[in-house]
Amino acid sequence: MTASELDDATDTETNWAPTRASTAVALAGTAGGVAALSAAAGVTTGAVVAAAGATCLAVALWLLTFEQWRVPAAFAASLLLVPAGAGVATGIGYESLVAFAESFPAASKTRVVGQILHIVGVMAVLWGSTVGVFGAASSVRGVATTRSVSRCLRLVTRVALLPANLFLALAGHALVTNFEPGVFGVVGDFVAAATDWLLAPEPGSVHLFQFGVLSAAASLGVYLALRDLPTRELAGEASVGGVRVADALDVVRKGLGALVVLAVLSVPPAVVVEFVVPAEVGLNILPPAGHDLLVALTSSAGLRTLLWWVTLVSGALAGVATLVRRSSRARTRDLLAGYAPFAAGLVVVAGVAVVHRPVFDALVGFVAGRLEPPLSGRFRDLAAGVAEFYGTETVVLGLTAGVLVLAAGAVFALYVAFALRAVSDRAAGPSLAGGGLFLAAAFAGTLETPLWVVLGGVVAALVVWDAGSFATTLGSEVGRRAETRRVELLHGLTALSVGGAAALAATGLVGVVPTGTTSSELGGLSVALLGAVGGVVLLVMALR
């Protein structure tokens, strides 16, 4: 046995790939089917842009299969998710906008339903073409698997975290700042009142509850920080006055733990004194000196501010310590790969901060240029008002976050498909490619597409699915170095012949079965689709 044969035999999990000839047939069939269906439906531009986004998503999945260069591959895949979502959203959104502009306002009320169905058909063709291109691209190396999709879902969630939260913060700030009256004014007043209640108490009175809450929070934060920080390691054998620093810190930590318990137990009595029993009645048992001391402590704004900052700083230190402790248990490469999508999200935010104005102007000009004069002017006015209210940076950041959310939704849909076993790991790409083409061909028939294009799309979907599945099966059985081109081409020609025969039979039925306008008779397209379904059955029977 040669070295290459031994490699194929002993490394079957990683040393295999779909065979080239059948994969080429699947790619050619997908490209031809998408091109013909999108051109016949008049959505070529959107299909090309959406296909580019789908290809970026497939490349991102391919990068996630790298183990040796895992960190840069994860970072590159994270960045690719932005053009992936943007391509799909722009392509489908553009053609939907064009279809809407051409359909509305409708000539009459009776045509509204037909125009809506037309828009639905356009979107279905675009979505089917996009899924088909993604499936074909991911079938080249068989990268669409449960593992890669799961990793990609975690990746896109982390990438979208910073842009989405920053957008929400900026948008919320704009709402609170610009909407003084109404609901947002009430929210602002509530926040201001809560801040004064917590940090600026009324002088000369006892405020046990607020002070107790702040004391408990500060004690808990310091306790967690001392517990999680490596204080014993940092102190080592150092001592002060004959007392080891590490032992003293342990005593302080235990004391803070007891103080936290005491503060929590004191909250119910403080609530009773603060809200149920008047302070004069509840505290009259104290001597005057004790009462004055309690008033000075609980109503001191400076002391409360100090406790507030102690809570924030100690909580942050505890969080950092916990993160460092967990990170120290992981390998450096795994740790960096986990942080790569967060770094990509930071790069996305920085990019938006640099180019938000020209991007906003370009988007407004592009959309307004595709609308008729009555709608284009209204859209420009609306866009100017939104930009003035929120700011162009917030708007572009929101669009970017929306693109990432769309990408996360698409990846989540893939994850659900794998979880429900709708597609298998070994033949996921061909199944998605064939299913997407079939969906596009079926809905293309509702857009006055020529019959031969619809039937050609159905046949292409079947050939793509069969050739792609055969490529994965054969590649896993004989390895990637075996000579299988003749077998693959023969199999592809057989599938194409059966599909072509079914298409010819469907076309023949159109001329044989009578057509008309009454509900009891079948239209030509319905008969053709019926014949196409029969072709599906024949093809499956011939192949199985």
Are 160 and 404 in contact by the 8 Å Cβ rule? The answer is yes
The 10s digit of each residue's pLDDT in 276-330 is 665 555 555 556 666 677 777 777 778 888 888 888 888 888 777 776 666 656 5
- The pTM assigned to this predicted structure is 0.70
List 243's β-bridge partners, or say none.
240
Question: What does the pLDDT read at residue 9?
Answer: 39
The answer to which of 232-241, 310-319, 466-475, 492-501 has the lowest mean pLDDT is: 232-241
- Match 């920053």 to its residue by tokens: 166
Domain ranges of the chain: 3-144+423-482, 182-328
Euclidean distance between CA atoms 436 and 184, whole angstroms: 46
What band does 428 get if pLDDT is binned at 50, 70 and 90? confident
Euclidean distance between CA atoms 246 and 248, whole angstroms: 5
Question: What does the pLDDT read at residue 208?
Answer: 72
List CB contacts of 480: < 8 A, sequence separation 6 or more.
8, 15, 16, 17, 19
Question: What does the pLDDT read at residue 489?
Answer: 73
The answer to which of 20-29, 129-138, 468-477 has the lowest mean pLDDT is: 468-477
The 10s digit of each residue's pLDDT in 208-234 is 777 777 888 888 888 887 777 666 666
- The mean pLDDT value for 193-204 works out to 69
Residue 75 has pLDDT above 80, yes or no: yes
- The mean pLDDT value for 28-35 works out to 91
Query: In this prediction, what percent of the chain has a pLDDT beyond 90?
Result: 15
Question: What does the pLDDT read at residue 132?
Answer: 92
Question: What does the pLDDT read at residue 444?
Answer: 84
> How crowded is the C-beta side of 312, counted as CA atoms within 13 Å?
6
Give the residue, 189 or 43, on which the prediction is more confident.
Answer: 43
What band does 346 get if pLDDT is binned at 50, 70 and 90? very high
What band does 400 get if pLDDT is binned at 50, 70 and 90? very high
The answer to which of 33-47, 244-258, 279-293 has the lowest mean pLDDT is: 279-293
**Residue 6, Cβ density class (10 Å: 0-12 exposed, 13-18 middle, ≥19 buried):** exposed
How many Cβ atoms from other residues are within 10 Å of residue 456's Cβ?
20
The tokens describing 128, both together, are 């089917």
The tokens describing 77, both together, are 């895949």
Euclidean distance between CA atoms 532 and 454, whole angstroms: 9
3-state secondary structure 34-76: HHHHHHHHCCHHHHHHHHHHHHHHHHHHHHCCCCCCHHHHHHH
